[in-house]
Amino acid sequence: MMPTTFSPLFPPLNQINEPITDIRQFVLTCDKALGSAGDVIDTYELAAEYLHEQSGNKNNYAAYRRDMCIFLNWLWLVRKGSVRQLGRLDMKSFIEFANNPPAGLIARNTFAILIEDPAAGWRVNTEWRPFVNRNHPEPYQRKESSLRAQLSVISGFYTFMAEEDYCEKNPAAIALRRYGVNNVSNLGAVDADKEKALSHTQQRVLLETVDRLATLDPDTYERTRFLIHLGIFCYPRISEIASTNSRSPAMSQFKRRRGPKGVWNYSFYIEKSKGGKSRHVTCSDNVINALARYRRYLGLSEFPHPDETHPLFVRHKAGTHGREFGVRDANLGTHQISELVSKVFEETAQSLDSLEEFEEAREIRQLTFHTLRHTGISNDLEAKRNPNDVMADSGHSNLSTLAIYTSRRLESRQPSANLKDEYINSILYK
């Protein structure tokens, strides 16, 4: 039976890694009720990963969480469909719903999403509602800017799904255009053409910075150095290397097998990717050398044994709550990984500032772990690596998706743009 009332769906940032039984049960119930017509589990996992990209900024995360919560609840409980089926008229219906929500979904004040039950852990607060009307008894009303911001968040989600080969159309972007938004970036919109890979300068300074920090303070930064190398050279999604309730990535996911000439061939095994698929990511010497260096720092052999269970990224401090309370040698979750990357991006930005690369510094401060994936794939394609090999290593299902990595890096397109000037000059100055 389908749930009858909306659920928060995603916890606050402080509880982002906590297993919330009520939310999990809600999602499973929706999935069972809608079956294959709803794609609930896959959509929810993608939405969670999309939100994790905002976890470096508390305010951004809260705003994105709120808008995605309303959208997905409407999708499953009201529209009773799949995110891939929605069209322009569906988005119009969603807008009308969000502009005039049922009275039962509106609270007079903001209530905490979760409450802590001493016996059962974190539970959904039954007082929580997705909409708030502080002007009661006046009717609920929202500003047009709120509508535009919400559509921008949903449009960004569709862009994210397109990059993951999950959905091709973007009805939210169509709705934004029809509502006359001339400059959505000024309204906190997600720019579909925003540069998502590091520039060559940013990459160089990032790798130099993390090397310097790891040498000066190995206890803090050796782990981060390996994380950055893994992100760029193997380009996993953050969900593929972070600990979850059901999976704890281990060092033994690095594999090796001798080739015909006795040379070792290395790979990083990802046991569960989008749609439940697994894959072996081919490893270059750079990432294997980074692995060996990190393991030497940990006091381990340079390459893991096949049955080794040592976590891929270990905590430096014991967990303070949740399933890993008091455990030190436990894996990192998505939030911890995001924080490590944000911290080293800030250090890199400071290095760029010192080089007077102010625009590069400003930009890298806004980037996330997912940037490393875009960077690695873009690097491989620019290096003229076989696109089929890149597709297999990245986990994409078709070559057309790789176009997003080759078309957006401005510094790579600039030389060809200058050909226009050369052509015009040849005409003007014969």
Length of the chain: 430
| Spans of the chain, pLDDT less than 70 | 179-195, 245-246, 272-276, 316-330, 406-421, 423-430
Half-sphere exposure of 198 (CA within 13 A, CB side): 29
For the whole prediction, is pTM greater than 0.85?
Answer: no
pLDDT for 325 equals 46
For 200-406, which CATH superfamily applies? Intergrase catalytic core (1.10.443.10)
Give domain limits for the chain: 13-187, 200-406
Residue with tokens 């920090």: 213
Predicted local distance difference test score (pLDDT) of residue 195:
56
Close Cβ partners of 76 (under 8 Å, ≥ 6 residues apart): 2, 30, 34, 38, 40
d(CA 3, CA 10): 16
AA identity, residue 15: Q
Q: What is the DSSP string of 343-391?
A: HHHHHHHHHHHHTT-HHHHHHHTT--THHHHHHHHHHHHHTT--HHHHH
Report d(CA 316, CA 253) in Å as an integer: 21
Left, alpha or beta for 192 (phi > 0: left; psi -120 to 50: alpha)?
alpha
Cβ atoms 85, 34 nearer than 8 A: no
Distance CA 394, CA 387 (A): 10
Encode pLDDT of 121-152 as tens digits: 889 999 999 999 888 788 888 888 888 889 99
Question: Phi/psi at 104 (nearest 5 deg)?
Answer: -70, -15
